[in-house]
Amino acid sequence: MKTLPLLERSSFEHAPLAVFGSSRDAARAVAAEIAALVRQRAREGRPCVLGLATGSTPVSVYAELVRLHREEGLSFRHVTTFNLDEYYGLPPTHPQSYRRFMQHHLFDHLDIDPARTHVPSGVVPKAEVDAHCSAYEQAIRAAGGLDFQILGIGRTGHIGFNEPGSPRHSDTRLVTLDPLTRRDAAGDFGGDAGTPRHAITMGVRTILAARRVVLMAWGQHKADIVRQAVEGEVTSHVTASFLQEHPDATFVLDAAAASALTRHRTPWLLGPLEEQRLSWDERMTRRAILWLSERRQKPILKLTDDDYNEAGLQDLLRIHGSAYEANLAGFYQMQHTITGWPGGRDPRKAKPGDAPVRPLRARSSETFPKRVLVLAPHPDDDVISMGGTLCRLVDQGHEVHIAYEVSGAGAVSDEAAWRVLVFARDSGLVDGAARARLDPLCEALTAGNAQPTPELLGWKALIRRHEATAAARVCGVSGPRLHFLDLPFYHAAPRSRRYGAEDVARLRGLLDEVRPHLVYAAGDLDDPHGTHRLCLQVLRDALVAAAEAKAAWLDDCELWLYRGAWAEWPLDEIDLAVPLSPQEVLRRRRAIFRHETQKDQALFLGADRREFWQRTEDRSRRLAQAYNALGLAEYEAIEAFRRYAPAEFLKSVAF
């Protein structure tokens, strides 16, 4: 019955794990196990009781269950469900209520009896909350207990809404949401102010009483908390860690969510690499040397044989002969990531003795000037994440295009829209029918009760478009080199977004039009609402389609990923580092300032109150300091990139 392929447990891991290459494969495997259970119970004529979760994680599992129902006749007539939680204060009809979410993603598409689907009530009066929660517990028991509970994990480590501090013996109850959880949900509620503060959630004890528990996590942004839950001690500070004590709980992860586990991050701590079917390739060597340098607080070239020996890295001494040689291998790898010529040098200006532009492929470095396509998921990601490099590419004579993938309208406050629209109304330039359209909108915005109608969202999108245009002007890009793709997936509510053929076709069309030599895309998979992740999936699919159609431009194309406001690449993953001068840092700041709606009123700054320009400067300065601490040159700031080579794409192209 249990079909998930479990990894052999390492000494650091305190819970069973199944890790898949992609979240799609992982979700299919989880759905298959649920389907097997549902079928078995139907054969036995017994009911099947499922515990369900909401959020972005289980969406793909639900999509697969719906497919199994439609295409393979999987029936849910005997299934009873209990959801983990509901926001307190939201009626079931509210677009962001978990009841609505479940109807939309699952229940409406199955033959399940609506009376057997249970979600805590978000509108039960305060005085009746305790009774409601006890009745919920009682209903689970009366149904025979939970057979199978699926879970996501919040970045606070919560399961359900059992935030840090929730005890092991907690039952279904009213709770207060953690600020980080509220920040992650803010996108669904148009910002911080409208985000619920409380929820009713099953307790830790309720969840642990399920006979089988599967916790799923997808994406880099979950990697650290997954490591704590799996490798850390059992603690109420990370309620997912309680699953370590469950007799039949499995963590199901995609590769990104598993990436911070010791087996991936520092596998040499688990014993010889060969025994783990790993090898000391360049990347692993670099990772170990950087780790050692940081641990010892020493520049790479000062590491000694003793340092290696004491940290259990004798293998590197054996392979390289001495610390001196191993140090050089790590040092040169880092040095060769650095170039001030991200698009290669102009051959007409080449001087004898010029160092090669190492991070670029040999063939690619011959083409000059290059056509460059910078993909910005939101209208400010280009300048926030790689504004300095963008300016350099323009200044060095390349043909730089910027494509803004989504409108970003959701992140413009009503206050910001009010300023622009009331100005337009009062300008005296708007009259007649246009004025008649504008007046009621201005009135509603002034009164503070404007609805998020397509018209208002359209204005907000236009505001961001103008900001992006102004910022791109600072970098020297304008006119037909700016592309606003307005990908349709963004029009759905944040946590319900899924991309489709139209999104892929739009990006594919642009790639074929620009025929870029260099593509820069957001690999910043930590953004709170998953837009960057979706944009990267759209790019992956567009590249696969282009490769299958044998698009000639692909032969000369290099793909780079940047990281945005939320995190930087780990040093060992950097393939290209572009140093910036103090002047370039200031120019980038000017460009970021053009995004006025994202300044002090930004809806999504969240717990980190620094503005985007400050985060950008801190991040790129810290990176420069990290290079310097390794013993490399001291720069003002560095922007870093990783080579992009998605497996699905590589399969279809000889790269």
Which contiguous run of DSSP H or E holds residue 621?
A: helix 612-629
Nearer to ligand F6R, 57 or 616 (CB): 57
CB of 501 to ligand F6R, least distance (A): 24
CB of 370 to ligand F6R, least distance (A): 38
Which candidate, 33, 231, 259, 5, places its Cα nearest to that of 150? 33
CB 637 within 8 A of CB 338: no
Nearer to ligand F6R, 57 or 259 (CB): 57
State phi, psi for 551 to the nearest 5 degrees: -65, 125
Catalytic: 611?
no
Nearer to ligand F6R, 173 or 345 (CB): 173
Catalytic residue among 86, 137, 163, 405: 163
DSSP notation for 552-580? GGGGG-EEEEE--SS----GGG-SEEEEE
Nearer to ligand F6R, 497 or 508 (CB): 497
Q: By the criterion CB under 6 A, which residues form the site for ligand F6R?
A: 53-57, 84-85, 152-154, 158-161, 495
CB 76 within 8 A of CB 69: yes
Nearer to ligand F6R, 80 or 156 (CB): 156
CB of 152 to ligand F6R, least distance (A): 3
State phi, psi for 170 to the nearest 5 degrees: -70, 145
User: At which residue do the structure tokens 């259970």 appear?
Assistant: 37
Q: Which residue is nearest to ligand F6R (CB)?
A: 152
Strands 637-643 and 482-484: unpaired
CB of 436 to ligand F6R, least distance (A): 42
The CA distances from residue 301 to 265, 305, 312, in Å, are 22, 11, 18
Cα angle: 53, vertex 59, 64; to 5 degrees? 110
Nearer to ligand F6R, 183 or 619 (CB): 183
CB of 530 to ligand F6R, least distance (A): 8
Amino acid, res. 474: V
CB 545 within 8 A of CB 420: no
| Percent of residues in the chain assigned helix, strand, coil, to nearest 5 | 50, 15, 40
Nearer to ligand F6R, 150 or 630 (CB): 150
CB 19 within 8 A of CB 253: yes
Nearer to ligand F6R, 166 or 396 (CB): 166
> In terms of residues, how long is the chain?
655
CB of 108 to ligand F6R, least distance (A): 18
Kindly tell me the sign of the dihedral angle through the C-alpha atoms of 228, 229, 234, 235: positive
Greatest alpha-carbon pair distance for the chain in Å reads 83
Q: Residue 145, by phi and psi: left (phi above 0), alpha (psi -120 to 50) or beta?
A: left
CB of 164 to ligand F6R, least distance (A): 13
Tokens of 613: 């320009």
Cα angle: 370, vertex 376, 382; to 5 degrees? 75
CB of 606 to ligand F6R, least distance (A): 15
The CA distances from residue 189 to 121, 410, 537, in Å, are 19, 10, 25
Q: Taking the chain, what is the end-to-end CA distance rounded to the nearest angstrom? A: 41
| Residues that are catalytic | 163
